[in-house]
């Protein structure tokens, strides 16, 4: 494995196993997302019937790579053009959700924020007893549950409206309580 390998691919029968090894915590940013897209497309072309995404490190993913924001501030621009992205964050998650073959997230260790969004974009999540899964927004000032992005709330869709804390889920809870 070279220094630049962020995602490795093993094939067992017709199942591709993608292992994220982006040190230190598989932080989601342009590098890891591009590597995942490349390996998923290669797995599709190879005829895989299912894809398992797992971590080769201690944790599944500790969220987004926040160094991107520091780099943008240092460059004096919010422009993403120089980040060599194949897909932006929301388009990447949509790409994952719309794959014609099943995606399985094998989660162990910490799975937070962007890592949780990655896992939720998969068709199935298999969590080890050591998994610590949670959203990043509980103590942050960021927009909750991607409300700004077409009202799509993966957390309420997968966990149910009783566990999600965004305003859309609150409306769903009120509707559920009223029997409507």
Number of domains in the chain: 2
Q: Which residue from 41, 121, 47, 34 is spatially nearest to 86, judged by alpha carbons?
A: 34
Within 13 Å of residue 84, how many CA atoms lie on the same side as its CB? 4
User: What pLDDT, on the 0 to 100 scale, is given for residue 157?
Assistant: 61
Which pTM was predicted? 0.74
DSSP type of residue 140: S
Polymer length in residues for the chain: 180
Helix axes 89-97, 30-45, angle to 10 degrees: 20
User: What pLDDT, on the 0 to 100 scale, is given for residue 67?
Assistant: 82
- Are 163 and 91 members of one domain? no
- Are 170 and 131 members of one domain? no
- Are 88 and 14 members of one domain? yes
Structural domain for 135, as ranges? 7-141
Please give the distance of CA 36 from its chain centroid, rounded to a whole number: 10
Please indicate, yes or no, if residue 147 is contained in any of the structural domains.
yes
Q: How far is CA 147 from CA 59, 169, 178, in A?
A: 27, 10, 23
- Are 90 and 157 members of one domain? no
- Are 81 and 154 members of one domain? no
**One pLDDT digit (tens) per residue for the chain, 180 residues:** 444 799 999 999 999 999 999 999 999 988 899 999 999 999 999 999 999 999 999 999 998 888 877 776 777 765 555 566 677 778 888 899 999 999 999 999 999 988 998 999 999 999 999 999 887 655 444 444 444 444 455 655 665 555 555 555 555 545 555 554
């Amino acid at each position: 494995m070279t220094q630049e390998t962020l995602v490795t691919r093993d094939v067992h029968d017709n199942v591709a196993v993608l292992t994220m090894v982006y040190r230190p915590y598989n932080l989601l940013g342009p590098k890891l997302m591009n590597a995942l897209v490349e390996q998923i497309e290669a797995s599709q072309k190879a005829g895989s019937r299912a894809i398992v995404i797992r971590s080769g490190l201690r944790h599944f993913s500790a969220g987004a790579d926040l160094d991107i924001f520091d780099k943008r501030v240092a460059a004096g621009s919010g422009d993403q053009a120089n980040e060599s992205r194949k897909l932006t964050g929301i388009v990447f998650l949509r790409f994952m959700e719309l794959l014609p073959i099943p995606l399985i997230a094998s989660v162990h260790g910490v799975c937070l924020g962007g890592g949780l969004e990655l896992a939720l974009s998969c068709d199935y999540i298999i969590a080890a007893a050591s998994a610590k899964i949670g959203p990043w927004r509980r103590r942050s000032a960021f927009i909750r549950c991607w409300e700004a992005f077409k009202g799509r709330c993966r957390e309420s869709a997968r966990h149910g409206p009783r566990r999600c804390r965004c305003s859309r889920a609150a409306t769903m809870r009120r509707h559920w309580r009223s029997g409507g």
